[in-house]
Chain A
Amino acid sequence: MKKNFLHKILTASVILFAAISLSSCGSGGGSDKKSDSTSSASTSGDDNALIGAGSSFDNPLFSKMFYDYNTSNGLKVDYQSVGSGAGISQLTSRTVDFGASDAPMNGKQDSAVTSPVLHIPVTAGAVVLSYSLAGLKDTLKFTPSLLADIFLGNITKWNDPKIAAENKGVNLPATAITIAHRADGSGTSNIFTTYLSKVSEEWSKKVGKGSSVNWPVGLGGKGNDGVASLIKQTPGGIGYIELAYAVQNSMPYAKIQNKSGEFITPSIGSVTAAANITIPADSKVSLTNTEAKDGYPIAGFSWVLIYKEQKYNNRSADRAAKLLKLLSWMIHDGQKFSGALYYAPLSPAAVTTGDAILKTATYDGKPILQ
């Protein structure tokens, strides 16, 4: 009796053990195609609730948009703010209806998906340089090469002649410069390092670009708030944060010289201006170092990612149509929420491109939007 009983429990535990390890196989790789069968349940459920995941930068705007859309259209959208990279992996494993990312999918991510993915620009954001220098009232100005030199560690004091040359009349102290950067992987870092790689050859050789790079100097903070508190807490601190965060916390931020030689104050207007350039048909363009004369140079689109062919995992045509309708609303009517939350509304050129891309989405080979 006793043996029999123990035996039963042991069998049960072996099964449990196997189940745990099997399920870990499914999620552990985070990559390829085998997950089709395991994940279908979550997307083919309630057709009146869509699921999205990705960029945390988009989250405040999306929350507002989806709340409003739910009130007017009754469609519920559940958005998980897990980070751009995680959003792309979730789209790859087809556990969500759409992903959201601050960087377009790279070659490796592209090769991991089984069918083409559309990038639809939904909003644009700016990365600003914020600093803390006691007693400083003037707004600092930086040229691209100056920024690169500071973040490479070539300039270490605030009263360096190179900084003084661009900021005549500003009383710069002899304080050491302390750099604060994002320690966690982030689309904000991606925009900033992409910019530095474009304007400085030394940066592109030594450091490169990406959502997480090896910074030559400086302190790492977690999230915008982590970087912001590092800047505030350190005399002579400088770091990069999102425009919205800097404005909401009334932190000072610098004017940056753009490609045309103008010093531009980051604002919603100058970011929208930065996006008013020729946008390629697939919309995968970086707005950094923009050609636009009045555009702020450290800015970038954020994209919603969906599969071009919407028929997969037993998804209904109705669900696909609802998703496309939502996205179309987001790039048109939804844009009215941008300003109040310090996101830059899409430029006319970006909306036109977005419309064209949405029209290419199909269900079972037939276009969804007319």
Chain B
Amino acid sequence: MAETVQMEDQVKYQTVAPAKSLSYASRVKRSYRQIKVESAFKVALVSMGIFMVVLVFGIFLTLVIGSSQSIKTFGISFLWGKKWDAVNDVYGAWPFLAGTLLTSFLALFISIPFSIAVAIFLGEYFPKGWFSELLKNTIELIAAVPSVIYGLWGFLVLVPFVRTIEIKLGIQQQQGWGIFTASLILAVMIIPYAASLGRSVIQMVPSALKEAAYSLGATRWEVIKNVVIPYTKSGLFAGILLSLGRALGETMAVTMLIGNSNDIPKSIFATGNTMASAIALFFGEANDIRRSSLIELGLVLFVITMIINMLGKRVIKRFTN
């Protein structure tokens, strides 16, 4: 018993002592550990980066494989096929494609005055002060609120509002649901995207340019009109494009307001459906060719948003160069 205690003491002493005396060796040891940590860190970073790229390609590939049956059956004419007919298993994307493009562009059209105004207000007109701070935080909040809440608000407030407008205008369908209502809610939802990018490009306008204009006697409105807007045109445009990407893919709020019919919308007050909303609605009960066609809808949406995103990125790049 006593012997073992002694032995243990000895072992302790032996292991501690060299580390204390040989400071050179311990430094080598530590730097070796540092190298290990360093390379492990690098492995982690690179592998996570690669994982993300692989993931996106994997998603794309999944969509392509999943939609192969539909691509084989309907070919390219799937894109402009006028009917989504689940009874006879004939599927065309056009009703949903039209609904998506109509709601997104209408929303964009409605949102532009607001997003540009907010961008100018925060970027140039009143960059500081409590009201700008409040506005900035509010706009950020708009982007953070879950879309189902917009759907609820639209359902309870916008729909009756649009219905009264429709009755006053004497429009045939007086339901309050439809493309127009969905576009209104989408417009609200996408304002932050264009506004925040717009704000940062407006802040990038060189002050020398603005000061030169002021020194020539230009008013604030003239500076904004003749210096800031021309200088930031492409940046503002890029922000709008990116917010379009957001509008294209919005699902929940649209589903709750658009009326969800499979017809090609005849007017902006008619009901319709978008691709994202159709996928969410139909996927649960879909199998076989219907499922494959829904996946192809997803593929089309994926490609469209990818193109819009790439366009936006390119415009931004041109702007910053």
* A30–B288 CB distance below 8 A: yes
* A214–B281 CB distance below 8 A: no
Give the residue name and chain of the A residue nearest to B49 (CB).
A9
CA distance A108 to B175 in the complex (A): 38
* Cβ of B204 to closest chain A Cβ, rounded Å: 36
Is residue B39 contacting chain A, with contact meaning CB distance below 8 A?
A: yes
* Cβ of B99 to closest chain A Cβ, rounded Å: 12
User: Interface with A: B2-10, B82-90, B194-202, B208-216, which one?
Assistant: B82-90
Is residue B46 contacting chain A, with contact meaning CB distance below 8 A?
A: yes
Is residue B249 contacting chain A, with contact meaning CB distance below 8 A?
A: no
* A208–B87 CB distance below 8 A: yes
* B288–A31 CB distance below 8 A: yes
In the complex, number of A-B residue pairs with CB atoms less than 8 Å apart: 129
Q: A5-B43, A21-B61, A213-B86 are in contact. Are A84 and B285 (CB under 8 A)?
A: yes
* Cβ of B281 to closest chain A Cβ, rounded Å: 4
* A112–B284 CB distance below 8 A: no
* B54–A16 CB distance below 8 A: yes
User: Interface with B: A121-129, A176-184, A297-305, which one?
Assistant: A176-184
User: Interface with B: A219-227, A306-314, A315-323, which one?
Assistant: A219-227
A-contacting residues, B150-200, CB 8 Å: 155-156, 159-160, 174-177
Give the residue name and chain of the B residue nearest to A23 (CB).
B62
* B295–A28 CB distance below 8 A: yes
Q: A178-B175, A215-B261 are in contact. Are A28 and B65 (CB under 8 A)?
A: yes
Give the residue name and chain of the A residue nearest to B159 (CB).
A233
B-contacting residues, A183-197, CB 8 Å: 183-186
CA distance A176 to B167 in the complex (A): 11
Pick the contact of A17: B47, B54, B176, B263 (CB < 8 A).
Answer: B54
CA distance A108 to B62 in the complex (A): 24
* B261–A220 CB distance below 8 A: yes
CA distance A13 to B48 in the complex (A): 10
* A108–B61 CB distance below 8 A: no
Q: A5-B39, A30-B291 are in contact. Are A185 and B262 (CB under 8 A)?
A: no
* Cβ of A222 to closest chain B Cβ, rounded Å: 6
Is residue A135 contacting chain B, with contact meaning CB distance below 8 A?
A: no
Give the residue name and chain of the B residue nearest to A8 (CB).
B43
* B46–A9 CB distance below 8 A: yes
* Cβ of B167 to closest chain A Cβ, rounded Å: 10
Give the residue name and chain of the B residue nearest to A197 (CB).
B87
Is residue A169 contacting chain B, with contact meaning CB distance below 8 A?
A: no
User: Interface with B: A85-93, A267-275, A350-358, which one?
Assistant: A85-93
* B285–A211 CB distance below 8 A: yes
Instruction: List B contacts of A9 (CB < 8 A).
Output: 43, 46-47, 50
A-contacting residues, B45-97, CB 8 Å: 46-47, 50-51, 54-55, 57-58, 61-62, 65-66, 68-69, 83-88
CA distance A313 to B93 in the complex (A): 39
* B84–A214 CB distance below 8 A: yes
Instruction: List A contacts of B281 (CB < 8 A).
Output: 183-185, 220, 222
* B58–A17 CB distance below 8 A: yes
* B57–A17 CB distance below 8 A: yes
Is residue B260 contacting chain A, with contact meaning CB distance below 8 A?
A: yes
CA distance A29 to B288 in the complex (A): 7
Q: A9-B50, A24-B66, A215-B261 are in contact. Are A86 and B285 (CB under 8 A)?
A: yes
* A214–B288 CB distance below 8 A: no
Give the residue name and chain of the B residue nearest to A82 (CB).
B284
* A24–B284 CB distance below 8 A: no
Instruction: List A contacts of B282 (CB < 8 A).
Output: 184-185, 212
* A88–B287 CB distance below 8 A: yes
* Cβ of A109 to closest chain B Cβ, rounded Å: 8
CA distance A10 to B260 in the complex (A): 45
B-contacting residues, A21-37, CB 8 Å: 21, 24-25, 28-31
CA distance A183 to B86 in the complex (A): 12
Q: A9-B50, A211-B285 are in contact. Are A28 and B62 (CB under 8 A)?
A: yes
B39, B83, B85, B281 — which one has the most chain A CB atoms within 10 A of its CB? B281
CA distance A112 to B287 in the complex (A): 11
* B87–A13 CB distance below 8 A: no
Pick the contact of A24: B39, B58, B261 (CB < 8 A).
Answer: B58
Instruction: List B contacts of A211 (CB < 8 A).
Output: 86, 285
CA distance A339 to B285 in the complex (A): 27
Is residue A12 contacting chain B, with contact meaning CB distance below 8 A?
A: yes
* A219–B261 CB distance below 8 A: yes
Is residue B255 contacting chain A, with contact meaning CB distance below 8 A?
A: yes
What are 5 inter-chain pairs, A to B, with CB distance below 8 A?
A: A9-B43, A9-B46, A31-B287, A88-B287, A219-B260
**What would 16 more interface pairs be, CB under 8 Å, given A29-B292, A183-B260?**
A10-B50, A13-B47, A20-B55, A21-B58, A30-B287, A31-B287, A83-B284, A83-B285, A85-B285, A183-B273, A215-B261, A218-B261, A219-B259, A220-B259, A220-B273, A221-B260
By a beta-carbon cutoff of 8 Å, the part of chain B in contact with chain A is 39, 42-43, 46-47, 50-51, 54-55, 57-58, 61-62, 65-66, 68-69, 83-88, 155-156, 159-160, 174-177, 255-256, 259-263, 271, 273, 281-282, 284-288, 291-292, 295
